Amino acid sequence: MDDRDDHLMRCFASAFPSATRDEIRAAKTFDAIPGWDSLRMVNLLAVLDDEFGIQIDLPEVLDLEPFDAVKRYLSERGLPAKELNG
């Protein structure tokens, strides 16, 4: 896992505190992440906005594998991260 992946994983882990990193990576959809609820989803979106300065358009990623989908979404937008190394 490179620095960028690690930073992104930190974002997911902070929003879904009861899920392990493996569970987050393996989840096929957002609601399959252990502990998922709408409030945690809101937290994830806010953390991603805070950390990378990007507002995720939820419908674009909602039905995809969460971690990879968000990673791809950020990459496509040039990842204007404040700090890649988190």
Distance CA 79, CA 71 (A): 9
Q: Smallest distance, Å, CB 47 to another protein?
A: 5
Distance, CA of 76 to CA of 2 (rounded, Å): 17
Of positions 46, 53, 68, 77, contacts another protein by CB under 8 A: 46
**At closest approach, how far in Å is the CB of 46 from another protein?**
6
Contact between 3 and another protein per CB under 8 A? no
Min dist CB 10 to another protein, Å, is: 6
Do the Cβ atoms of 11 and 44 come closer than 8 Å? yes
